[in-house]
A and B are shown apart, each in its own frame.
Chain A
Amino acid sequence: LAKTTQPISMDSYEGQEVNITCSHNNIATNDYITWYQQFPSQGPRFIIQGYKTKVTNEVASLFIPADRKSSTLSLPRVSLSDTAVYYCLVGPFEQAGTALIFGKGTTLSVSS
């Protein structure tokens, strides 16, 4: 599975837009990009997934350039409750049973 690199931590104020970029230079043709969010004392939670271009859901947007070597998770108008660790994962998620490989993630701290 492709290795990913993302910032260790980010700080933001409430109401700001937060963009977390993930590098995955060795992404394979059949790999998807997935982001998980983890709150303290909870398991990771799927938030968004994409293959190319842009994906948007009620939680976030995911921007993927044409070369797919990076991706950016965008959280609009963050609140205190968005404080969490965000993981970028890359893999052939079209196949069931793909073991998720987590890195250190990006710890986002939102303050008022």
Chain B
Amino acid sequence: EAGVTQFPSHSVIEKGQTVTLRCDPISGHDNLYWYRRVMGKEIKFLLHFVKESKQDESGMPNNRFLAERTGGTYSTLKVQPAELEDSGVYFCASSPLAGGSSTDTQYFGPGTRLTVL
């Protein structure tokens, strides 16, 4: 079974440019999460989708960040315009649970390293 994949693995852009990160969750996983780690800090939650709906976007830092999950499959996270402080590693995770008796285990992708110059 393929794991969570993310593209690109590394992106280097200049301040003010736009970048779009993509996450392909494990097939059949309804829950999709975005997290990020900025330099020297802990991994922080950004938002959570259930299928195509945003369930919790309390961690999104500001309106320069836009996440979508059209069709409930892959998700994109767009940063526009990018600022220096957006540099970090962006992780995507997915989990299969959408109700049920098992506990929720999140499976993470390898991350996208974003460098804003």
Query: Which A residues contact B (CB, under 8 angstroms)?
Result: 32, 34, 41-46, 49, 93-104
Contacts and interface: CB of A to CB of B under 8 A. Distances in A.
A97 B31 contact: yes
Interface of A is mostly: loop
Contact of A46 (B35, B43, B99, B105): B105
B110 A98 contact: no
B103 A32 contact: yes
A98 B108 contact: no
Interface residues of B, number: 32
Nearest to A39: B110
B43 A102 contact: yes
A45 B93 CA distance: 10
B104 A94 contact: yes
In the A-B complex, the 4 residue pairs with the closest CB atoms: A43-B108, A99-B45, A96-B97, A102-B43
B109 interface: yes
B111 to A, nearest CB: 5
A10 B83 CA distance: 36
Contacts of B99: 96
Given A97-B31, A99-B45, A100-B45, A42 B97 contact: no
A94 B107 CA distance: 15
Interface of B: 4, 30-31, 33, 35, 42-45, 48, 50, 55-56, 58-59, 91-93, 95, 97-100, 103-111
Contact of A43 (B55, B91, B103): B91
B106 A100 contact: yes
A43 B35 CA distance: 10
Nearest to B111: A43
Interface centre among B43, B95, B109 (most CB of A within 10 A): B43
B25 to A, nearest CB: 12
A73 B56 CA distance: 30
Contacts of A99: 33, 45, 48, 56, 58-59
Given A96-B98, A97-B31, A45 B108 contact: yes
A95 B48 contact: no
